[in-house]
Amino acid sequence: MDYVSALLPPIVMAGFFIALVVTIVKSQGGPNKAKEDAAVDAAMARAEAARQSAPAERPKEA
């Protein structure tokens, strides 16, 4: 009976991990994909605009 108590926690954790992976895979794409892509594109555009508007720093020469 010790082998049952030794194997139960890894089996339960494996089951939760498989459920997590399935949930992540199912949530990719679909109707939310365009919304997620738009959010990423907006964040990238803001970062690029901030980078271009910041004055260029020149490295100090020693």
pLDDT tens digits, one per residue of 3-60: 888 999 999 999 999 999 999 888 777 777 778 788 899 999 999 988 888 665 666 6
Distance (Å, whole) CA 18 – CA 29: 19
Look up residue 23 and give its two tokens: 């949930």
Q: How far is CA 15 from CA 4, 10, 24, 49, 54, in A?
A: 16, 9, 14, 45, 49
Contacts of the segment 31-35: beta carbons below 8 A, 24+ positions apart? none
Its pTM stands at: 0.47
DSSP annotation of 59 reads P
